[in-house]
Amino acid sequence: MFAASASGTTRAPFLIDMARDLAASLTLTANVMAFTSVAWGASSLAAGALSDRFGRRPFLVLGPTGLALGTMGVAVSESFLGVAVCATLAGASAGTATGALMAEVSSRVPDRQRGRALGWVIAGQSMALLVGVPAAAWIGGTIGWRGVNWCVAAVTLLAAAGLFATTARPAPAPPGGRKPSGGYRAAMTPPVLRLLAMGVAERSCYGLAVVFFATFLQATYQAPLPTLALPLAIFALGTILGTIAGGQLADRLPDRRVTFAGAMLAASAIAVPLFLWTGGMAGSVALGFAFVFCAAVARPSLMAALANVPDEVRGTVLGLNVTSASFGWLFAASLGGLVIATFGFAGFAPLAAGFGVLGAVLALAGRRSA
């Protein structure tokens, strides 16, 4: 998960250099991340169901291998079109693996350990922000953005080798043996659809802060980019600690939907002062830490609840989760840009709080119906 996330996030410090080297505009170069995200969500939709039918090991090994090859292609491409095509293939390869990875982890641990197990795996994405991006910026000063892509490809190949070794011993079969996959029709039950909708709301709420927090600090406090390193590291640390804490709560508290709802309501309450109070950068960073901590606490409970389905459709469900999460990020980025242009950052307060409350309502309504 660290390698998959780093393949995209480590491009962020080099967009200006990439645009200059590729003779493309900065706006066009930034859209490479959008190509990656769309391909990631689309491939995960298909790969999850296929992994249930044909087994997860091919996707867990070939997905990271394809991601490494796509990243190498980005490193050697001399044109914007070449970079865009290779980055899209890399995103599709990452999507091929991530849903199967979550399903494989879930198959190897009992239900009451899945929150912690998935929490640690999800933390790999946050580590890409906390460690991967600063490390890329540091070594990129010497070897450039192309060299950084070679490094990410090497890390991804190591991950592929590790998955190849780990999956040599298959996950234990469920009681009664494995049944044929029921496909999307069997997977998309009303409870699963509600959980997927909760995921869209959670990712939209969380994504508003993640995508725009650095811009918020720059616009509000006129902070130059070099001074944002520590605030953004604190922000990423909040996500990691929240994910780990959320995994513990998901396994120790009796109802994961209540845990999710409580975390989302707490994040909604913090979103209001986060974007409306601008009394000082230290206070805003502290509020940002608290916000992402609470939002991250919700994620393992949601993932563990989604994984609590029959093994024969688990890959399908968790692949759908990756796809729905991409919709959440898309809503956050598109609606966030519109809100900034119309209301400024103050408009983020009701928008983020509204997404959080929506996720909590869906969780509690699902609990009542169950």
Same structural domain for residues 41 and 77? Answer: yes
* Residues 6+ away with beta carbon under 8 Å from 158: 3
Same domain membership, residue 322 and residue 255: yes
Number of domains in the chain: 2
List per-residue pLDDT tens for the chain, 370 residues long: 899 888 887 876 677 788 888 888 876 776 777 788 788 888 888 888 788 888 889 999 999 999 999 999 999 999 999 999 999 999 899 988 888 888 888 888 888 888 888 888 888 887 887 778 778 877 887 888 899 999 999 999 999 999 999 988 887 766 655 555 556 776 778 889 999 999 999 989 998 888 788 778 888 898 876 677 788 788 888 988 999 999 999 999 888 999 999 999 999 999 999 999 998 999 999 999 999 999 999 999 998 998 888 878 888 888 888 888 888 877 887 788 788 888 988 999 999 999 999 999 999 986 654 4
pLDDT at residue 257, as a whole number: 92
Do 264 and 150 lie in one domain? The reply is no
Evaluate whether residue 327 is within a structural domain. yes
Domain of residue 48, residue span: 2-166
Q: Is 332 part of a structural domain of the chain? A: yes
pLDDT attached to residue 83: 92
* pLDDT for 172: 73
Residues 220 and 157 in one domain: no
Q: Answer yes or no: do 162 and 188 share one domain.
A: no
Statement to judge: residues 112 and 41 lie in one domain = yes
Query: What confidence score (pLDDT) does residue 33 get?
Result: 74
- How is residue 259 written in tokens? 């845990």
Q: Both 155 and 202 in a single domain?
A: no
Supply the pLDDT for residue 115: 87
Residues 21 and 151 reside in one and the same domain: yes
- Let me know if residue 173 belongs to a domain: no
Structure tokens at 11: 């491009």
Whole-number pLDDT of residue 120:
86
Query: Tell me, what CATH number does 61's domain have?
Result: 1.20.1250.20
- Domain membership flag for residue 345: yes
* 275 assigned to some structural domain: yes
Q: Which tokens in the block code for residue 344?
A: 């400024």
Q: What is the pTM of this model?
A: 0.79
How far is CA 223 from its chain centroid? Answer: 27
Give the long-range contacts of residues 43-46, CB within 8 A, separation 24 or more: 43/91, 43/92, 43/93, 43/94, 43/95, 43/96, 44/95, 44/96, 44/98, 44/99, 44/319, 44/320, 44/322, 44/323, 44/326, 45/95, 45/319, 45/320, 45/322, 45/323, 46/319
The verdict on 191 and 333 lying in the same domain is yes
Tell me, yes or no, whether 177 lies in a domain. no
Amino acid at 76: V
Judgement on whether residues 326 and 264 belong to the same structural domain of the protein: yes
- Examine the domain organization and report whether 251 and 340 are in the same domain: yes
Q: Are residues 338 and 228 in the same domain?
A: yes
Q: Is residue 174 part of a domain?
A: no
